[in-house]
Amino acid sequence: MAISDILDKVKKEWEVLKGEEAKDKLFVNENTFPDEATARREFERSKQKLFNVNDWSKLEGMNSTFQLYTPQGQKSSATKPSEGDYMLIILPGTTFENWVLISKVTEEEDVAEFVVHPSQKPQPEPGEEGVIKHFFVKEASSTFRVYRDGTKIMGFEIGRHEAINNHGDEAGDRALLNTFISEGGWAGFQDYQWDRITKYYVHLEELPGK
């Protein structure tokens, strides 16, 4: 690698650390089945796994906590999210709440997905309106997707504009914490977490007892 390329890479990482530049990430796993009939049947199970957010927390080993919430801030036991619902994410070994808003839900014959964006807490406390309770900026997004192509099923997590939420009023009093989580705990855990989730979507990993 040329010196200029190394310098450009270092500069980009520094801009990300300062919250001035975003990263895009893609995680994908796939599984191939003996025939299309089997793949179609297993794809129905993939959609159930994708949409039943609360079950993600039940994967064995080190894992984040995922909990679906209604727009009114109540825990939801729904097995499929709706647009306007929220999801609470708590990284392992922490108690810090990270909230995302579900902005789009799609379900078709061979593809299903939902899109989330960092958000304020549902029904925020007075004085916390507009504070993004997440370590990424509100412009960031994650798309969770399953897709069938013939006998193959693929599971995706697609992260867009993953810039650190450590500037201005939207960071509230979490600017330093958000930087630490993004460049510390989450930076080292992200690959592991989304690899496991996407394997779960395509049945390369199952919940205990399944």
Q: What is the pLDDT of residues 149-205, one digit of tens each?
A: 999 999 999 999 988 888 888 888 888 888 888 876 666 788 899 999 999 999 999
Compute the distance between CA of residue 192 and CA of residue 189 in angstroms, rounded to an integer. 5
Q: Span 23-201: which CATH code?
A: 3.30.530
Inter-CA distances, 12 with 6, 52, 136, 166, Å: 10, 36, 17, 17
Q: Which residues pair with 160 in a beta bridge?
A: 141
Compute the distance between CA of residue 89 and CA of residue 134 in angstroms, rounded to an integer. 9
* Mean pLDDT, 10 residues at a time, the chain of 210 residues: 51 52 84 98 98 96 94 97 97 89 96 96 82 91 96 95 87 84 74 95 92
| CA 122, 124, 130, 132 torsion-angle sign | negative
